[in-house]
Structure 1
Amino acid sequence: EGLSCLLKSRSESSNMSGLQVAPSSPKVNHLLFADDSLLFFKANSMGATEVNLVLDRYCQASGQRINYNKSSVYFSKGVPDSIRTEVKTVLQVPNETLNEKYLGMPSDIGSSKSGAFKYLKDRLWSKCKGGLRAQCLQQAKRFW
């Protein structure tokens, strides 16, 4: 909660304003779940420095520490290698990866949303065709 408040307080900054999924949606500069954190900021040294300041402040206040070996950075397409290197150096995060899935959802959707979520549709359809339909029929028979 403390980290979230610190990040929200920086949402007015042009470097940490976050991203918007639609014109009418709010901007999001972080997503937190259990011990995982996703931070969204501009890929430049000022953005990385601002993130560092927030994280340092949080660590000082909470006593928690960041495991930089388990941390990684993911860049949008088109970010030059020089900027990537600069941001990773400022953040002290050597890894440049993003898992294929995060919390069971695809992390890099791209422009083909139907392809990215096809597995959900297929999985749901297989459950409707198979086991769930049979279970529903068995339950219905018990009531009749």
Structure 2
Amino acid sequence: MIDGFKCSRGSPIVTHLFFGDDNLLFSRDTVSNCESIKRLLDVYAKALVQLVNFSKSTLCVSPTVCTRICRELANIVGVCLVECHERCLRLASLTRRHR
């Protein structure tokens, strides 16, 4: 239901990573993907009888995405928009190539 991303040409598509009670979801910056994520979170909450805390949830997008689109996507999912996660789960979430 969501596009996900590939780390390299031959790698599998990654749509999510689950760590205990922390979840990372990956998709393209489209309205349909964000609507799918919202529906999936609703189904997830009902199936596990848990509430998703949207006040603690954030949306991080590529710097190449237009600000207007970023705000629209954050509103669809119902989360705050952040520029960048420096570290998530003690791992660097946005990496640059270092030689």
Instruction: Calculate the TM-score normalised by the size of structure 1.
Output: 0.63
Report what 1:66 is aligned to.
52
Please state whether the residue corresponding to 1:99 is helix, strand or coil. Answer: coil
CA separation in 1, counterparts of 2:91 and 2:37?
Answer: 25
Say which SS state the counterpart of residue 50 (structure 1) adopts: helix
Question: Secondary structure of the residue that 1:47 maps to in structure 2?
Answer: helix
Superposed counterparts of 1:117-136, under 5 Å: none
1:72 touches 1:98 (CA, 8 Å); kept in 2?
Answer: no
Q: Secondary structure at the match of 1:79?
A: coil
Aligned to 1:48: 34
2:23 equivalent in structure 1: 37
CA distance in 1: counterparts of 2:76 and 2:87, whole angstroms: 26
Higher relative contact order (CA 8 A, sep 6+): 2
> How many Å separate the matches in 2 of 1:37 and 1:86?
22
Task: Please give the alpha-carbon distance, in whole angstroms, between the structure 2 residues aligned to 1:59 and 1:65.
Answer: 5
> Which of the two has greater helix per residue?
1
Residue pair 2:3, 2:33 contacting (<8 A) in 1 also: no
Count the aligned residue pairs: 99
Moved over 2 A (4+): 102-105
Unaligned runs of 5+ in 2: none
Unmatched tracts of structure 1, length 5 or more = 1-9, 11-15, 115-144
Secondary structure of the 1:69 match is coil
Counterpart position of 1:104: 90
Q: Deviations over 1:89-134 (max 9, x none)?
A: 1011024244312233211113x334xxxxxxxxxxxxxxxxxxxx
Aligned to 1:109, the other structure's residue is in SS state coil
Bigger Rg over Cα: 1
Identity %: 28
Aligned match of 1:75 in 53, 56, 61? 61
